Amino acid sequence: MPKQVTVRLTEVAKSFGETRALKKCNFEACSGEVHAIVGENGSGKSTMAKIMSGVLNADAGEALILNERILTPLDAKRIGLATIFQEVLVADEASVLDNLYVGCDSFFSMRTSTEERAREAQALLDRLVGHPMDLKATVGDLPLSVKQWIVIARAILRRPKVLILDESSAALDLDATLRLHEEIDRLRATGSTVIIVTHRIAELVRIADRATVLRDGVTVGQLQKHEITEANLLALMTPADRRLSEAANTSGRASQGDRTIVLKASDMIAQRGGAPFNFTLEAGSIVGVAGLDGQGQDAFLRAVARILAPFGGDVHIRSEDGNEMAAVHSLLDAARLGIVYVSGDRKREGIFPQQSIFENLAIGIYRRNLGPCGVIRKSELRKTFAREVDRFRVKMGSSQNRITSLSGGNQQKILIGRAFANDPRVIILNDPARGVDLGTKRDLYRELRAFADRGGAVIYLSSEIEEFLGFADRVDVFHGGSVFRSLRAHEIEEEAILAAMFGQSKAEIVEFTTERKVH
Amino acid sequence: MSLRKSLSVLAQDRSLFVPAALFAALIIGVLLLSPRLFTVNGLAGAILVATPLILTTLALTPIVMAGRGSVDLSVGPLLGFINVTLISWLVGNGITSPFAVIAWVVCLGAAYQLMQALIIIYVRIAPIIVTLASFLILSGLNLMVMSRPEGVAPDWMLSWGAGTSIFSPVLLLLVAAFAIWAIMRRTSFYSHLRMTGADERMAYTSGVQVDLIRIVAHVLGGVFVGLAALSYTALISSGDPTQGSTYTLQAVTALVLGGANLAGGRGGAVGSTLGAINMFLISYLLSTFSFGTVSGFVTQMAFGLILVGSLLVNVFLIRRQAAN
């Protein structure tokens, strides 16, 4: 089959307000190939996928799919492009079958009969999910993993000429990922173009024919199949200055001397069905928490901060005088005993978008700055505010401006300042560096290390493995709802963490990544 | 067979469980307290009185199903507007042919809703604001067209309001409305409508023309308002500038009683009709007791209590289901 260019992006740029998500993006994919788009978080991969599928339109440059311009998802559907988005987009109220065939019809008339659809859908879902499915079931009652399959099946049922998968395997386990890969192979064999957007290197090494690498909104290189190796990819993904700076940024580990335990979680069951596990946090240490999405690490952090009650087990923290361990039973306990939680999901769990920068930082400390009759002592708050703004070098205009006037990184600094203002003893950060620039990250690492050196303790969840390197004193990797492996300082390296995230030893992951290259 | 099928639909769609159970309970209540309803005269009267509410609720249904919390508050005054313009502009000027009258009510309803939909979608104002403004504007406009109840319905319509035969033209209106719904249900527009209401982003990214779906939902609602206005005119045999407005809140109540989700995605003709009939039965049942001059207030209060009660039952049922 002669290869034709099916997707072509020329000099595409896209901005969201201040943020330039894509600066200069050139891309080309052919029929009958699996083409990967790789890059770190925030490098513009998802924006690129959204432009290709017509959800977003480019500010500059040209995006052609099968020689046509795509302006809306309807255009995309018409010419045979299907996209599986990062979010699991399903209608909870409707049946599985309705969810699978949404948008398949023209405005009033149906293209195929319901019976035909049911047969086709049943065959595909049985193959994908691995167990028989009831097509009449209401989607809202189904677990997340099945919803994910519904979204994937919806796209495959369109028999797309171009299929885009935007981080779609995130919620799938290894076995399921392999089934998805089989399906991708099948589509490639029929001459379709499959574009996978991912930051899971192992996955793309296994399946991609070509890979395009994005860095800070610019396409920096294209690799042919034989060139797709972890080393090549990492070299392209990481800018040279950054590698240097990260080495320089190694802020030193905790001193080996005093190792009193400040926080202890025993027999924790963070996620339904997870095995119970223990967790300890020593004074002066920074513990990294990693895992693929939905493996219980997020629930664990919330349980320790008591934002959610765990399914089992309890959390104890050393009391202020250091002699006994006090149980943490509620959010109020956590706050009283000096545990603070910082979310990386700024929009939903962080900022108050209608409030000023000042109020956003001060909201957590009103209670401890009350004068007579409960009147808030503004002058104290201003001092704290100035201290935290200074500490994190927040770039801002007036403190009375709305917080949304700040860039994402500066918003995050304010939120972390809110946590510091509470004089905590344990800081729990849930992926705080998501969508944050390098300078902010560096400030954050430095301050967290300083905090630990003063005797505090940090739990740091990140979805980017690189963040732990040279920073964490220990990394606990979650898999299947509990800690799968706990890596000591000298063991912390990219492959080891990645392997543990997949629930495998390091040797196995190397095999996984090379399996395809052998063929 | 068809009964069996409809029963299985009831069993599957749990949102219909509460309205159906309430319906059964109310029927038993009526049988015990006032079996007169089940005579020819009783049923004919019931159909006559309940039809405007059923049709108004049906008009709200597609609009609410399309989501974005767009409960159309203007349906009541719009019904009144169609009623008063029909009486004073058409009949007042000697235009009484059935064809002209039906064309007027349907087109006016559809045109008004089309305009409203365009404002909501393209000017991007929250539906609740647009329809609230509509409610106020139309309420005033109705009084400008006709300052007090007056006028007479066309001659051919007078017999409709007699309420002596079950198979009256009013029942025909109801059947026509259901037929429109049944046809609509068989098109892909219906599934697109539900998907849009359930998750607009999902529908949009799947290539559903979300805006167009919304517009058609409104226009369909407008057609039903037109039919409702026609049945209302038959019921009162004249024009009334103020009474129409009361249908807004009644229809919203009936809609929720029928198991629709005001946030969109869930609802249907069966539920809405059941909800509206339940409203009628409640007031009918209450009228058998003598509350004297306060009976109107008691009815309102009963609507409110039953609404809250049915929502509570629904919540517990769904929780129980989710727990299993």
Give the residue from B16, B205, B210, B262 with the most A CB atoms within 10 Å of its CB, the best one to mutate. B205
Instruction: Say which range, A445-449, B75-79, B115-119, B163-167, has the weakest mean pLDDT.
Output: B163-167
Burial of B211 (0-12, 13-18, 19+ CB in 10 A): middle
- Nearest 5°: CA angle at B257, between B210 and B237? 90
Mean per-residue pLDDT for A338-346?
Answer: 87
Tell me, yes or no, if B6 comes closer than 8 A to chain A by beta carbon.
no
Please report the pLDDT score of residue A95 as a whole number: 86
CB A319 within 8 A of CB A289: no
Q: Which residues of A touch B321 (CB under 8 A)?
A: 141
The residues, any chain, with a CB within 8 Å of residue A61's CB and separated by 6 or more, are: A9, A10, A11, A12, A13, A24, A25
Instruction: Say which range, A262-266, A303-307, A348-352, has the weakest mean pLDDT.
Output: A348-352
Residue A345 has pLDDT above 90, yes or no: no
Please report the pLDDT score of residue B320 as a whole number: 59
Tell me, yes or no, if B207 comes closer than 8 A to chain A by beta carbon.
yes
- The DSSP symbol for B186 reads T
- The DSSP symbol for A40 reads -
Residue of B nearest to A76 (CA): B207
User: How near does any CA of chain B get to the CA of A265, in Å?
Assistant: 28
Of A53, A76, A110, the CB nearest to B188: A110
Please report the pLDDT score of residue B273 as a whole number: 95
Structure confidence at residue A213 as a pLDDT band (50, 70, 90): confident
Please report the pLDDT score of residue A515 as a whole number: 47
Q: Say how many CA atoms lie within 13 Å of A378 toward its Cβ.
A: 2
Topology given in CATH for the domain delimited by B15-319? ABC transporter involved in vitamin B12 uptake, BtuC (1.10.3470)
Please report the pLDDT score of residue B321 as a whole number: 56
Q: Which residues of A touch B202 (CB under 8 A)?
A: 89-91, 102
Residue B175 has pLDDT above 90, yes or no: yes
- Which among B46, B52, B47 is positioned nearest to B82, based on CA atoms? B52
Q: Where are the domains of chain B?
A: 15-319
Tell me, yes or no, if A454 comes closer than 8 A to chain B by beta carbon.
no
Among all chains, which residue has been given the structure tokens 């002209």? Answer: B100
For residue A24, what are the β-bridge partners? A218
Residue A38 has pLDDT above 90, yes or no: no
Residue of B nearest to A136 (CA): B12
For residue A370, what are the β-bridge partners? A376
DSSP string, B61-124: HHHHHT-TT---TTHHHHHHHHHHHIIIIIGGGT---HHHHHHHHHHHHHHHHHHHHHIIIII-
CB B164 within 8 A of CB B45: no
Name the H helices within A158-267. Answer: 174-189, 201-207, 230-237, 240-248
Q: pTM, whole model, 2 decimals?
A: 0.75
Tell me, yes or no, if B260 comes closer than 8 A to chain A by beta carbon.
no
Q: Say how many CA atoms lie within 13 Å of A173 toward its Cβ.
A: 13
Residue of B nearest to A99 (CA): B195
Mean per-residue pLDDT for A265-281?
Answer: 88
Q: Identity (one letter) of the amino acid at A348? A: R
Please report the pLDDT score of residue A244 as a whole number: 38
CB A285 within 8 A of CB A457: yes
Torsions phi, psi of A247, nearest 5?
Answer: -65, -40
Query: What structural domains does chain A harbor?
Result: 5-238 (3.40.50.300), 248-516 (3.40.50.300)
User: How near does any CA of chain A get to the CA of B168, in Å?
Assistant: 32
CA–CA distance from B75 to each of A294, B277, B303 (Å)? 46, 18, 19
| A13: number of Cβ within 10 Å | 18
Q: How far apart are the first and last CA of chain B?
A: 30
Q: What is the pLDDT of residues A167-192, one digit of tens each?
A: 776 667 667 888 888 899 999 999 99
Q: Which residues of B270-279 are buried (b: 16+ CB within 10 A; e: fewer)?
A: bbbbbbbbbb
Residue A474 has pLDDT above 50, yes or no: yes
How far is B292 from A398, CA to CA, in rounded Å?
Answer: 66
Q: Which residues of B touch A76 (CB under 8 A)?
A: 207
Per-residue three-class SS string for B74-90 = CHHHHHHHHHHHHHHHH
3-state secondary structure (DSSP) of residue A337: coil
Residue A255 has pLDDT above 80, yes or no: no
Tell me, yes or no, if B205 comes closer than 8 A to chain A by beta carbon.
yes
Give the residue from A86, A87, A108, A112 with the most B CB atoms within 10 Å of its CB, the best one to mutate. A108
Name the H helices within chain B. Answer: 2-12, 17-33, 40-65, 75-85, 98-118, 127-145, 155-158, 169-185, 188-198, 200-205, 210-236, 246-257, 269-288, 295-323
CB B86 within 8 A of CB B233: yes
Q: Which residues of A touch B188 (CB under 8 A)?
A: 105-110
Residue A243 has pLDDT above 50, yes or no: no
Please report the pLDDT score of residue A248 as a whole number: 39
- Nearest 5°: CA angle at A341, between A478 and A436? 80
How far is B248 from B132, CA to CA, in rounded Å?
Answer: 11
Please report the pLDDT score of residue B261 as a whole number: 82
Q: Identity (one letter) of the amino acid at B27? A: I
Instruction: Say which range, A479-483, B137-141, B317-321, has the weakest mean pLDDT.
Output: B317-321
CB A225 within 8 A of CB A208: yes
Q: What is the pLDDT of residues B270-305, one digit of tens each?
A: 999 999 999 999 988 888 887 666 677 888 888 889
Q: Order across the sheet with A474-479: list the strands.
A: A339-343, A426-430, A457-461, A286-291, A474-479, A482-488
To the nearest whole percent, how much of chain B has pLDDT over 70?
92
Chain-wide mean pLDDT for chain A?
83
Mean per-residue pLDDT for A305-317?
Answer: 88
Please report the pLDDT score of residue A506 as a whole number: 57
DSSP string, A269-328: E-STTPPPEEEEEETT-EEEEEESTTSSHHHHHHHHTTSS--SEEEEEEE-TTSSSEEEE
Please report the pLDDT score of residue A238 as a whole number: 64
Structure confidence at residue B54 as a pLDDT band (50, 70, 90): very high
Interface of B with A in 178-197 (CB under 8 A): 187-189, 191-192, 194-195, 197
Among all chains, which residue has been given the structure tokens 């005054």? Answer: B77
Q: Which residues of A touch B214 (CB under 8 A)?
A: none
Structure confidence at residue B324 as a pLDDT band (50, 70, 90): very low
B195–A103 C-beta distance less than 8 A: yes
- Which among A416, A171, A124, A158 is positioned nearest to A293, based on CA atoms? A171
Q: What is the ipTM of this complex?
A: 0.75
Q: What is the pLDDT of residues A152-169, one digit of tens each?
A: 999 998 889 999 998 776
* Strands A210-215, A34-38: pairing kind: parallel
Structure confidence at residue A505 as a pLDDT band (50, 70, 90): low
Structure confidence at residue A516 as a pLDDT band (50, 70, 90): very low
- The DSSP symbol for B165 reads -
A90–B192 C-beta distance less than 8 A: no
To the nearest whole percent, how much of chain A has pLDDT over 90?
20
Handedness of CA A46, A48, A54, A56 (dihedral sign): positive
CB A126 within 8 A of CB A132: yes
